[in-house]
Amino acid sequence: MATATTNASLNDSAQQPYSALRIWARLMRYILRYRLWVLVAFAGIVGTNILAIAVPYILRDVVDIGLEAQDSGYMFNAGLLVVGLGVLRGATAFMGRYFGERLSHVVAYDIRNQIYDKVQRQSFSYHDSAQVGTIITRAISDVNEIQRYFAFGLMDGLNTSLLLIGVVTMMMLTSPPLALFALLPLLPLALYSRGFVLRVHPRWKKVMERMQSLSNHIQENALGAEVVRVFAREQYEIETFHDQNKKLYDEQLDFITQWINFLPASALLASMSTALVLLAGGILEAQGIGNITVGLIVTFNAYVLLLVQPLRFVGFIILLTTQAIASGERVFQVLDEEERIVNKPGAKAMQIQGHVRFEQVSARYDSSAGDVLRGINLEARPGELVAIIGLTGAGKTTIANLVPRFYDVSGGRVTIDGIDVREINLHSLRSQIGVVMQQSLLFSATIEENIAYGKADASQAQIIAAAKAADAHGFISEFPDGYQTVVGERGTTLSGGQKQRIAIARALLIDPKILILDDSTSSVDTQTEHKIQRALEAIMQGRTTFVIAQRMSSILNADQILVLRDGEIVQRGKHESLLAEGGLYAEIYRLQLQEQERVRREAIISGVIKVPLEYRRSTAKFRKLIDRLAGKYSP
């Protein structure tokens, strides 16, 4: 059930932009959890700047007193003092940098965990429309930009600010006239820096959006590699990627050009301070104005040189800040996304028996669309098998997905044992429902780990028992590493039938009270389907089972069959009565299922499928036919 609102929320252009100041303030809240580290880092930065500012002040006395009086002892002691201050400055610089870096990485750690936790809590509707590449880009690339800001942008920005405040204060206290000359070029530098911010912020946001688009393209192409080869579209995909990659290159070049232009301009303005100090200081000293001395000129020049590198670094700080704000906006779009399926206050855990009822249930994709299910009423008692059949898009899977509350109803209610599923704790509810999907995903782990995914504390004996019940133990044992065989990504090292049987074992291991089989045999051949069907027949005993079926063999023995058309139940009953009734069920049977069932029966008779007599599942009429043709022998 894709939702338009979810899709829009991850589309930057579709959402109201966040305030840059609000984003920055929100990012700052992450470091408040680590106040001690912040204080230590701040103390290190402050100490480093105090010690740095003290050295030029000492130089003034060295020139005006030591050199003028040619007092070598004074100069030696001053040298020792400078060395001592240098050692202390190294220690404080280490404190500031170490704890600053540590803060940056722990913030990145926290944000990535938040993103992952958020995505894990999101409903199916979110994942129906959210692109995997987008989520990966925001959890990795965007968080890396935030981490870089905390490591360098924030810490070095704080260092530059404190240094600037300290130097300006010392200059104004020492010689206001000379200070005005030294600081005069800083005003155009501030104005130029502001313009730089306004230019680079939208460009960086554009770069990140293009990177996200490329990430989505690579991810989709990797998943669809077979389709690309089948239709011989390799060259098209290569050209499409190159075109997108060229746009990324051009946008990055445009972005970098802005930064490169800022660096020499900022360096020129910073150098002008040195020139003005030397020129104005020399004139004032020669005229005897303002008590200017050679030592004071040297001190001011040292202060200016102290500021030159941090001021040149302002561009980089601005760059990191704009990148962090742009990335923070994209991250917060994920974190602020509404969680549609959550535990209600007071939701309770319960042991379910499996009595499922749909009472006038309707469901829709989103608030702006029409209902995809309307007026659904059904009852499945514990141990019953309910088959759901219908044309594509009729709403079969939607009905099944409402039971474990993968989606919420828009009208009516779904109850289990008389309790609305919205009143049941989600973990408690889903841990007692086994689901085998049409395309069952296996993780890149061992077969044992995949089977035990829903019950991590399962014993080896329980895992093997589940595999045997799912008719999977035989082929698993044939692998050299048995249950320790590593399954490739998405189970690519296994056949379709093997993946499905492992998925069935995984569902069986949690001993579910309710079992949902979403067309779980449609993608396998007839012989494999028969093996899976035998495994399913065994595990369905004593469990409320919902089967979404496209093959007649899956529904012949259902306690009730529901026939859907356009989101409504148009027929219900058992196989024989529905065939006799005619209508949509009989039409589907003739068009889609009759030939499948004929092939299956012929395969059983001819020996392609070997089935013990007691495992046969057919209508009474077909059973008599098979017995008459095959006699007591059942291949």
pLDDT digits (tens, 9 = 90+) for 238-278: 888 888 888 888 888 888 888 777 777 777 877 788 788 88
pLDDT of 207 > 70? The answer is yes
Mean pLDDT of 586-607: 67
State residue 528's pLDDT score: 61
Q: How far apart are CA 46 and CA 57, in angstroms?
A: 17
| Range list of H helices, 62-185 | 68-69, 72-121, 124-129, 132-137, 143-148, 155-174, 176-183
Mean pLDDT of 122-137: 78
Q: How far apart are CA 366 and CA 338, in angstroms?
A: 13
Coil, helix or strand at residue 338: coil
Name the nearest CA neighbour of 469 among 431, 506, 519, 425: 506
Q: How many residues does the chain have?
A: 635
pLDDT of 615 > 80? The answer is no
pLDDT of 180 > 80? The answer is yes
Sheet with 544-548, edge to edge strand ranges: 433-436, 514-518, 544-548, 385-390, 560-565, 568-573
The residue that leads in pLDDT, 53 or 274, is 53
What average pLDDT does the structure give for the chain? 81
Name the nearest CA neighbour of 505 among 478, 473, 546, 549: 473
pLDDT tens-digit readout, 94-107: 999 999 999 999 99
**Which of the listed ranges 329-333, 588-592, 607-611 does the model predict with the highest average pLDDT?**
329-333
pLDDT of 362 > 90? The answer is yes
Cα–Cα distance list, 364 to 81, 126, 166, 226, 402 (Å): 77, 14, 63, 33, 12
- Residue 185, both tokens: 């070029």
Sheet with 371-380, edge to edge strand ranges: 371-380, 356-364, 411-416, 419-420
State residue 312's pLDDT score: 67
* β-bridge pairing 560-565 and 385-390: parallel
Q: How far apart are CA 360 and CA 104, in angstroms?
A: 53
pLDDT tens-digit readout, 384-439: 999 998 888 888 889 999 999 988 999 999 999 999 999 999 989 998 998 888 77
pLDDT of 230 > 70? The answer is no
What is the band of 610 on the pLDDT scale with cuts at 50, 70, 90?
Answer: low
Residue 417 backbone class (left: φ over 0; alpha: ψ -120 to 50; beta: rest): left
pLDDT of 9 > 50? The answer is no
The residue that leads in pLDDT, 380 or 608, is 380
pTM above 0.85, yes or no: no
Q: How far apart are CA 225 and CA 454, in angstroms?
A: 30
Q: How far apart are CA 268 and CA 276, in angstroms?
A: 12
Concatenated DSSP letters for 30-67? Answer: TGGGGHHHHHHHHHHHHHHHHHHHHHHHHHHHIIIIII
How far is CA 429 from its chain centroid? 25
State residue 594's pLDDT score: 60
- Residue 602, both tokens: 């012929």
What is the band of 77 on the pLDDT scale with cuts at 50, 70, 90?
Answer: confident
- Residue 50, both tokens: 């105090």
pLDDT tens-digit readout, 510-568: 888 899 988 766 555 666 666 667 767 767 777 899 988 766 556 777 889 999 998 99
The residue that leads in pLDDT, 400 or 588, is 400
Q: How far apart are CA 155 and CA 363, in angstroms?
A: 52
pLDDT of 603 > 70? The answer is no
Cα–Cα distance list, 269 to 187, 199, 263, 272, 548 (Å): 9, 20, 10, 5, 73
The residue that leads in pLDDT, 442 or 623, is 442
State residue 35's pLDDT score: 92
**Which of the listed ranges 282-291, 420-429, 435-444 does the model predict with the highest average pLDDT?**
420-429
Q: Domains, the chain, ranges and CATH?
A: 7-335 (1.20.1560.10), 356-577 (3.40.50.300)
User: What DSSP character marks residue 142?
Assistant: I
- Residue 579, both tokens: 């065939």
Q: Which residues of 270-284 are buried (b: 16+ CB within 10 A; e: fewer)?
A: bebbbebbbebbeeb
pLDDT tens-digit readout, 135-151: 888 888 899 999 999 99
The residue that leads in pLDDT, 493 or 616, is 493
Coil, helix or strand at residue 514: strand
Percent helix / strand / coil, the chain, rounded to 5: 65, 10, 25
Percent of the chain with pLDDT over 90: 23
What is the band of 79 on the pLDDT scale with cuts at 50, 70, 90?
Answer: confident
What is the band of 617 on the pLDDT scale with cuts at 50, 70, 90?
Answer: very low
CB atoms within 10 A of CB 289: 11
pLDDT tens-digit readout, 308-319: 767 767 777 887
Place of tokens 């040619």: 70
pLDDT of 627 > 70? The answer is no
The residue that leads in pLDDT, 261 or 109, is 109
Neighbouring residues of 314: CB distance < 8 A, sequence distance ≥ 6 = 160, 189, 193, 266
Coil, helix or strand at residue 593: helix
pLDDT of 170 > 80? The answer is yes
* β-bridge pairing 544-548 and 514-518: parallel
- Terminal CA-CA length for the chain: 44
What is the band of 91 on the pLDDT scale with cuts at 50, 70, 90?
Answer: very high
What is the band of 598 on the pLDDT scale with cuts at 50, 70, 90?
Answer: low
